[in-house]
Amino acid sequence: MRASRPHKISTNAKAAYVGRAVSKWNNRGDGLASAVKTMLNDFRNETGIKTLSEIDKPRIEQYLDFLQERRENEELSSAATADRVSALNTTLRYFGKGDMTVSAKKYGLSRGPVDTSDESNSREASAAVVDAVYGKGQDDPRSMALYHSLRLQEAFGLRARESFAIKIVEKDPDAPRLIITKGDLPKNNRPREIPIVSDYQRQVLREAKEFALSRGWRSLIPPEKSLAQGKDFAYKTLDKIRQSVGHPGFHYHGERHQYAHERFTNLFQQQAGQSIQCPAVMGLSTKEWREYAANATGLSIDQIKDIDKNIRLEISEELGHSRVDVTRYYLG
């Protein structure tokens, strides 16, 4: 008997799958079918998969990061991203991968208010994972590129794809700002300037640049590989390493959260004269945090509101957000 062929993500295969899946939800008409088709198209384009059997946890995480970017850039509404996650979960259950389903709320992709809990990676988890990636990189240039990618995300708040895509060899570690141009970025990401305020940032940028130059690369992606191929390797490698060091919850976006948290604390110190963390880290509501900050600094609630607003505007620009209220997902 001939072995069955894997499901190709072609129009016919998608339609066949959708037809079977939608039959379970007749009252939903064609809405679910359309959502699944759109999701599969996006998933294929983002991760480079050719068969449905290739959908795994690292690629799911990669796709969710892609949805977060599109929501932050206002390319998708909260309803649209929630529909994509629902369609993803439907697909996973249908193909016997129900254990891989994900929570839209946890990733800030639900219809309702975003989850404002602390989603940063712990310092212990970051250190363990990054050190392990560095160790693997001693014998593998692509793993060393991943190491530099993680450090750039933590030091500058870059998205995963940005850390790989920027033309690192053109960046000046001694400049006052890291300038991210349109030529550096994947489609629809916002150009921006990120202040270089610490020796650590300069060191991270300098070492990443030196690595790329030593390999004859312009970015942290080998010239013979596409961005999609580079990211696919990175997500798979990261998944194996975080499991091996006992920190399965470590995730790319957590480094970006960590940058936002530390930047908030530093900017608050500059503007209010006291080091206070953001509401997400402290586990406080906005009202509770304002009252705490006012009591701690001796400033009025209105003064705290103004400082908080100014800080969020600055961090929003540095993270490349189109709207300041997107920072709620990072800062609470």
**Residue 8: pLDDT band with limits 50, 70, 90:** very low
Residues comprising the chain, all counted: 332
| Chain centre to alpha carbon of residue 15 | 30
Share of the chain above pLDDT 70, in %: 86
Give the whole-angstrom CA distance, residue 290 versus residue 283. 12
pLDDT at 52: 75
The maximal CA–CA distance of the chain, rounded, in angstroms, is: 79
The phi, psi pair for 51, rounded to 5°, reads: -130, 155
117-170 per-position pLDDT tens digit: 677 788 888 899 999 999 988 989 999 999 999 999 999 999 888 899 899 999
**Average pLDDT of 167-192?**
84
Q: Are 120 and 265 in contact (CB under 8 A)?
A: no
Give the whole-angstrom CA distance, residue 325 versus residue 68. 14
**Residue 292: pLDDT band with limits 50, 70, 90:** very high
Q: Are 101 and 316 in contact (CB under 8 A)?
A: no
Q: Is 193 helix (H, G, I), strand (E, B) or coil?
A: strand
Mean pLDDT of the chain: 83
pLDDT at 27 over 70: no
**Average pLDDT of 53-70?**
86
Between the alpha carbon of residue 171 and those of residues 167, 178, 179, 186, 219, the distances in Å are: 7, 7, 8, 17, 10
Rounded to two decimals, the pTM is 0.80
**Average pLDDT of 217-229?**
90
pLDDT at 129: 92
In the chain, where the domains are located: 11-100, 123-250, 254-331
**Residue 181: pLDDT band with limits 50, 70, 90:** confident
Counting other chains too, the contacts that 309-317 makes at CB distance below 8 Å and 24 or more residues apart are: 310/267, 310/271, 311/264, 311/267, 311/268, 311/271, 314/263, 314/267, 315/260, 315/263, 315/264, 315/267, 317/192
Q: What is the DSSP string of 313-328?
A: HHHHHHHT-SSGGGGH
Q: Which two tokens stand for residue 185?
A: 């970025």
pLDDT at 9 over 80: no
pLDDT at 4: 39
pLDDT at 3: 40
pLDDT at 152: 95
pLDDT at 1 over 50: no
Sequence-distant (6+) residues with CB within 8 A of 184 are 162, 165, 166, 167, 191
68-91 per-position pLDDT tens digit: 888 877 778 888 888 889 889 988
**Average pLDDT of 62-72?**
85
Residue 309 or 31, more confident: 309
247-284 per-position pLDDT tens digit: 888 887 788 889 999 999 999 999 999 999 999 999 99
pLDDT at 17: 43
Q: Is 217 helix (H, G, I), strand (E, B) or coil?
A: coil
pLDDT at 48: 79
DSSP for residue 196: -
**Residue 107: pLDDT band with limits 50, 70, 90:** confident
Helix axes 78-94, 11-22, angle to 10 degrees: 90
pLDDT at 299: 95
